[in-house]
C-alpha cells in the first residue's frame, strides 16, 4: 500500500510561543477544524490531544513536544506542539529541526514575552519560515496594536499584517483580512465565520494594509514587482506565490488574528497553511555533515533523521523520525551512519498525541515513528546501504543547573543509574556525570522546572525515590611561597626493611619562571594535570645521593598527594617540585620507600608555603528586560559577583558577570522568582580564583574536623 500523501502534499508545522500563549488550544482548533476530533478539549478539563501526559495535566502546561497530524483539503499536516518554558528548550529545538513552518503565538494581553525572544533565536538558527499569530484577542487586556508594534521592535519589519481585529476584548468577534479583503464575523461560540464586506469605516485602513502587504511581497520578487508596477495590483494567487517564496527566504512573516480558546480565526489559519506554507520539497535541500545536498525526493534512497525518543511502559522506545529523502517502508533494513549499526524497520506509525496508527510507508518530507531501534539515538541518521549521508545534528543548549543526586534506598544505585540513562536517551539536555573527584553523581539540567520533571519521572515512571543535594565544589589548592622539607621514611620489621630520604623544595609555578636558585637542574618534566594547571618536576640531585631509578617513585608520591591536597582534600595545581638531595640504603631502599618519602616531603613543604585555596569562577550572561536589570545586579552582588559589563542586546539588557560557582547552586530558581520568568542566563567555567580568607579558614577547619572524625571512626 503506497503512502496516502506524496511529498508535495505534506506540511510540517511547529507551534511556538511563551507559556500561556495558547499553543495547545490552537492545536485543538486545527484538529477540530480538519474534522480529526469532534469536540475541542481544554487544558482545564485535561482532555486535549496534545497534553495527554499525566504530569502535564497535573501542572496545566506543556512539558514535552507532541506530534499530531490531520488532513485538510488533500494535504497531510503534521503539527508539533511545544513547551513554552526555556527549561524545555531541547523539545523546541528538536521540533524546529524537522518543521518546515513555525507558528509563533503572541499573547495579545502580554505582548512579546522573554520566552518568545528565546525561541526566536532558535528559529533564526534554523531559518524556519514563520507565521505570527496574535492570540487571546478576546482578553479584556488585549492590545493588538501594541503587540504588533512590540513584535516589529523585537523581530523586525518583515512582520506583515494579514489580519487585524475590528474590535478586541470581550467584544472580539470580527477579523478583517487584508489579503482576501474580507471581514470574517464569528458567532460567540466561534467556528465557521460569516464572510462580509469590509465596513466603510475600516476601508481606508484595510486598503493601506493591503497595499503594504503587496509591496512587501513584491519587494522580494522582481517579476512580481514588475507586474505590480504594470497593473498597480497583484491577484491573490500572485500574492500567495510571492509570499511563499519570501517566507522560505525568511524575508516575510505574515501575521494573523486568533482566539484559539473560542475557535475564532483558526480555520483561516489552517487554510493559509494549506495554500501558502511550503512543503518539505519546496524548502532548501538538507546539507549533510560533508556538505552534500540531500534532496527531498521520494524516489531517492532513504535518509531519515531521529529527532526525538520516548520510552513507553510495556512497549519500549519509540523513535520519532523525519524522512528527508526516499520512501521508508516496513521491513527495510537501514544503516545508522553514526553507530554503524543495522536497524530493521519492523513497524511504522503516524502519531496523534498518545495514539499510534500503523502505516506501511512514509514518503520523503513526512514525519512518523518506529519502535525498538536497538542502537539508534536522537541526532542519528539512518540510510540505505549504498548511501552514506549523515545529517547535521541538533545543537542542544548547555546545562544551567547542577545538582547531586542519590537514591534514598540503599541498594538502588544500579536502578537509579539505569533510569538516568533512559532519561538521557529521551532528553539530550540532561547530562549525568559520575564525579570521582567530588564522590557524587551530578545531574546537569536546564533549571528548576526541568529538575522537577526529572524527579517526577524517576519516582512515578521508574519507581526510584531520590535525594537532591548541593554538589560539592571542585576547589583547587596551591601555594604562595617557596618552602623546603626533608622526610626520612624508615621501617624495620624483620627481614628487609624500608628506607628512603628525600630533600625537596616546592614553589608556585608560572610560565617561563627561572630555574630554582642555588640548585643544579639535571632534568625537568612539566606536565598538564588532568584537573587543570601544571606540575613541574625537577631533578636537581648532585653526586648520586638518590639513584635515578627512584625518581619516578618520588613523582608518584607527589602526584598521589596532589590528588588529595592537605587543606581540604582538593586537587593541587601549579607547583614546581625540585628534588635536590636525599639518602639511600643499599638493601632497604625501594620504590615504595621513596614514594612514601616523596609524598610526605611534599605534604610537609606544602604546609610551610602559605597554602592557598582556589575556587571555580563562572562566566555568567543574563538576558533580562531593562526594568528589572537593577534587581538582577543587586542579587548578583549578594553572590560575590564581579559585574563585567551591561550591554543592550536587541530589546533586552545583557548583564555579564563573573560569579563563584559556590554561589550559583540556586541561581536558576532565584532568577525565575526574581524576574517572574522574564530572564534567562547561560554560564560556563571561566577560571580559578583565590577564595576569601574567612571562607578558606572555614573550609579548612571543616575538612580537618571531618578527617579526625573519620580517623576515630
pLDDT of residue 50: 62
Lowest mean pLDDT among 129-143, 312-326, 388-402: 312-326
pLDDT of residue 659: 97
Higher pLDDT, 91 or 45: 91
Condensed to tens digits (0 to 9), the pLDDT of residues 626-661 reads 889 999 999 999 999 999 999 988 778 999 999 999
Q: How confident is the model at residue 42 (pLDDT cuts 50, 70, 90)?
A: low
What grid cell was written down for 167? 474590535
* Cβ atoms of 567 and 609 closer than 8 Å: no
Q: Residue 273 pLDDT more than 80?
A: yes
What grid cell was written down for 359? 502505516
| pLDDT average, residue stretch 15-37 | 87
Break the chain into its structural domains and give their ranges: 10-282, 286-383, 401-469, 477-609, 614-694
pLDDT of residue 44: 65
Q: How confident is the model at residue 233 (pLDDT cuts 50, 70, 90)?
A: confident
The answer to whether domain 401-469 has CATH 3.30.70.870 is yes
pLDDT of residue 307: 96
Condensed to tens digits (0 to 9), the pLDDT of residues 662-700 reads 999 889 889 988 988 778 888 999 999 999 999 999 999
Q: Which pTM value belongs to this model? A: 0.87
For residue 216, the number of C-alpha atoms closer than 13 Å in the C-beta half-sphere is: 25
pLDDT of residue 650: 73
Strand-pairing partners, residue 426, are none
Q: How confident is the model at residue 351 (pLDDT cuts 50, 70, 90)?
A: confident
Q: Which fold has domain 477-609?
A: Ribosomal Protein S5; domain 2 (3.30.230)
pLDDT of residue 593: 95
Q: Residue 310 pLDDT more than 60?
A: yes
Query: How many CB atoms neighbour CB 392 within 10 A?
Result: 13
Q: Residue 316 pLDDT more than 80?
A: no
Instruction: In whole angstroms, give the CA distance from residue 213 to residue 181.
Output: 11
For residue 468, the number of C-alpha atoms closer than 13 Å in the C-beta half-sphere is: 16
Q: Residue 290 pLDDT more than 50?
A: yes
- Is the fold of 477-609 the same as that of 614-694? no
Of the ranges 237-241, 421-425, 492-496, the best mean pLDDT one: 421-425
Instruction: In whole angstroms, give the CA distance from residue 156 to residue 340.
Output: 44
Q: Which fold has domain 10-282?
A: Rossmann fold (3.40.50)
Q: Which of 165, 249, 244, 178 is nearest to 214 (CA)?
A: 178
Q: Residue 339 pLDDT more than 60?
A: yes
Question: Regarding beta strands 75-81 and 10-16, do their DSSP bridges make them parallel or antiparallel, or are they unpaired?
Answer: parallel
| pLDDT average, residue stretch 325-334 | 95
pLDDT of residue 43: 64
3-state helix, strand, coil in the chain (%, to 5): 30, 30, 35
Q: How confident is the model at residue 498 (pLDDT cuts 50, 70, 90)?
A: very high
Instruction: In whole angstroms, give the CA distance from residue 345 to residue 325.
Output: 16
What is the H or E stretch that residue 484 is in? strand 483-491
Q: Is the dihedral of CA 666, 667, 668, 671 positive or negative?
A: positive
Instruction: In whole angstroms, give the CA distance from residue 294 to residue 391.
Output: 9
| pLDDT average, residue stretch 498-506 | 96
Average pLDDT score over the chain: 91
Higher pLDDT, 522 or 55: 522
Q: How confident is the model at residue 235 (pLDDT cuts 50, 70, 90)?
A: confident
Instruction: In whole angstroms, give the CA distance from residue 411 to residue 405.
Output: 15
- With a pLDDT cut of 90, the percent of the chain lying above it is 70
Instruction: In whole angstroms, give the CA distance from residue 90 to residue 24.
Output: 18
Q: Residue 706 pLDDT more than 90?
A: no
Q: Residue 713 pLDDT more than 70?
A: no
| pLDDT average, residue stretch 560-578 | 95
Instruction: In whole angstroms, give the CA distance from residue 453 to residue 434.
Output: 21
For residue 542, the number of C-alpha atoms closer than 13 Å in the C-beta half-sphere is: 4
pLDDT of residue 712: 56
Please, which residues have CB within 8 angstroms of residue 334's CB and are 6 or more apart in sequence? 302, 304, 342, 343, 344, 345, 382, 383, 384
The answer to whether domain 614-694 has CATH 3.30.70.240 is yes
pLDDT of residue 1: 42
pLDDT of residue 3: 62
Q: Residue 71 pLDDT more than 90?
A: no
Q: How confident is the model at residue 31 (pLDDT cuts 50, 70, 90)?
A: confident
- With a pLDDT cut of 70, the percent of the chain lying above it is 96
Q: Report the CATH superfamily, name and number, of domain 286-383.
A: Translation factors (2.40.30.10)
pLDDT of residue 105: 96
Please, which residues have CB within 8 angstroms of residue 672's CB and are 6 or more apart in sequence? 447, 448, 449, 679
Amino acid at each position: 500500500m503506497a503512502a496516502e500523501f506524496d511529498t508535495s502534499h505534506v506540511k510540517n508545522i511547529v507551534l511556538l510561543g511563551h507559556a500561556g500563549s495558547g499553543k495547545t488550544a490552537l492545536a485543538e482548533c486545527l484538529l477540530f477544524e480538519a474534522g480529526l476530533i469532534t469536540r475541542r478539549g481544554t487544558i482545564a478539563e485535561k482532555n486535549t490531544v496534545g497534553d495527554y501526559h499525566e504530569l502535564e495535566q497535573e501542572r496545566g502546561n506543556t512539558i514535552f513536544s507532541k506530534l499530531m497530524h490531520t488532513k485538510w483539503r488533500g494535504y497531510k499536516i503534521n503539527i508539533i506542539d511545544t513547551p513554552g518554558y526555556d527549561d524545555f528548550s531541547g523539545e523546541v529545538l528538536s521540533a524546529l529541526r524537522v518543521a518546515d513552518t513555525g507558528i509563533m503565538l503572541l499573547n495579545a494581553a502580554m505582548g512579546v514575552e522573554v520566552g518568545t525572544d528565546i525561541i526566536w533565536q532558535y528559529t533564526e538558527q534554523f531559518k524556519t519560515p514563520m507565521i505570527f499569530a496574535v492570540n487571546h484577542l478576546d482578553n479584556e487586556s488585549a492590545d493588538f496594536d501594541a503587540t504588533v508594534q512590540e513584535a516589529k521592535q523585537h523581530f523586525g519589519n518583515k512582520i506583515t499584517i494579514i489580519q487585524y481585529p475590528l474590535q478586541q476584548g470581550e467584544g472580539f468577534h470580527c477579523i478583517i483580512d487584508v489579503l482576501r479583503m474580507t471581514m470574517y464575523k464569528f458567532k460567540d461560540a466561534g467556528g465557521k465565520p460569516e464572510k462580509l464586506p469590509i465596513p466603510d469605516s475600516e476601508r481606508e485602513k484595510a486598503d493601506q494594509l493591503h497595499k503594504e502587504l503587496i509591496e512587501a511581497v513584491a519587494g522580494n520578487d522582481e517579476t512580481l514587482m514588475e507586474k505590480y508596477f504594470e497593473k498597480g495590483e497583484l491577484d491573490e494567487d500572485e500574492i500567495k506565490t510571492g509570499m511563499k517564496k519570501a517566507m522560505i527566504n525568511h524575508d516575510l512573516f505574515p501575521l494573523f488574528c486568533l482566539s484559539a480558546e473560542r475557535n475564532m480565526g483558526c480555520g483561516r489559519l489552517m487554510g493559509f497553511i494549506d495554500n501558502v506554507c511550503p512543503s518539505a520539497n519546496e524548502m532548501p535541500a538538507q546539507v549533510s555533515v560533508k556538505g552534500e545536498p540531500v534532496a527531498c525526493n521520494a524516489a531517492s534512497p532513504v535518509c531519515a533523521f531521529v529527532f526525538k525518543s520516548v520510552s513507553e511502559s510495556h512497549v519500549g522506545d519509540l523513535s520519532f523520525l523525519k524522512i528527508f529523502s526516499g520512501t521508508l517502508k516496513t521491513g527495510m533494513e537501514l544503516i545508522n551512519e553514526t553507530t554503524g549499526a543495522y536497524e530493521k524497520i519492523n513497524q511504522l506509525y503516524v502519531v496523534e498525541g498518545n495514539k499510534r496508527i500503523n502505516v506501511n510507508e512514509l514518503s520523503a518530507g513526512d514525519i512518523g515513528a518506529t519502535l525498538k531501534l536497538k542502537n539508534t539515538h536522537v541526532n542519528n541518521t539512518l540510510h540505505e546501504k549504498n548511501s552514506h549521508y549523515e545529517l547535521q545534528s541538533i545543537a542542544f543548549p548547555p546545562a544551567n543547573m547542577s545538582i547531586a543526586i542519590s537514591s534514598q534506598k540503599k541498594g538502588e544505585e544500579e536502578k537509579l543509574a539505569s533510569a538516568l540513562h533512559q532519561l538521557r536517551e529521551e532528553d539530550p539536555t540532561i547530562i549525568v556525570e559520575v564525579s570521582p573527584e567530588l564522590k557524587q553523581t551530578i545531574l546537569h539540567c536546564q533549571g528548576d522546572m526541568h529538575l522537577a520533571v526529572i524527579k517526577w519521572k524517576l519516582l512515578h515512571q521508574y519507581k526510584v525515590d531520590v535525594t537532591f543535594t548541593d554538589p560539592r565544589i571542585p576547589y583547587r589548592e596551591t601555594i604562595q611561597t617557596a618552602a623546603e622539607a626533608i622526610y626520612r621514611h624508615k621501617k624495620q620489621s624483620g627481614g628487609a626493611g624500608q628506607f628512603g630520604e628525600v630533600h625537596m623544595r616546592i614553589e608556585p609555578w608560572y610560565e617561563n619562571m627561572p630555574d630554582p636558585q642555588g640548585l643544579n637542574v639535571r632534568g625537568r618534566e612539566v606536565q598538564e594535570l588532568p584537573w587543570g594547571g601544571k606540575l613541574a618536576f625537577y631533578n636537581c640531585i648532585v653526586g648520586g645521593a638518590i639513584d635515578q631509578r627512584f625518581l619516578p617513585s618520588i613523582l608518584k608520591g607527589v602526584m598521589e598527594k596532589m590528588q588529595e591536597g592537605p587543606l581540604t582534600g582538593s586537587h593541587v595545581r601549579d607547583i614546581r617540585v625540585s628534588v635536590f638531595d636525599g639518602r639511600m640504603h643499599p638493601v632497604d631502599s625501594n620504590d615504595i620507600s621513596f614514594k612514601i618519602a616523596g609524598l610526605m616531603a611534599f605534604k610537609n613543604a606544602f604546609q610551610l608555603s602559605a597554602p592557598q585555596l582556589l575556587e571555580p569562577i563562572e562566566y555568567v550572561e543574563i538576558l533580562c528586560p531593562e526594568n528589572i536589570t537593577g534587581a538582577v545586579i543587586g542579587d548578583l552582588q549578594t553572590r560575590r559577583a564581579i559585574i563585567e559589563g551591561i550591554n543592550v542586546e536587541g530589546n533586552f539588557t545583557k548583564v555579564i558577570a563573573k560569579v563563584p560557582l559556590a554561589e550559583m547552586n540556586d541561581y536558576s530558581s532565584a532568577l525565575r522568582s526574581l524576574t517572574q520568568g522574564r530572564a534567562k542566563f547561560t554560564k560556563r567555567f571561566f577560571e580559578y580564583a583565590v577564595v576569601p580568607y574567612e571562607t578558606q579558614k572555614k573550609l579548612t577547619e571543616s575538612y580537618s574536623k571531618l578527617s579526625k572524625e573519620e580517623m576515630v571512626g
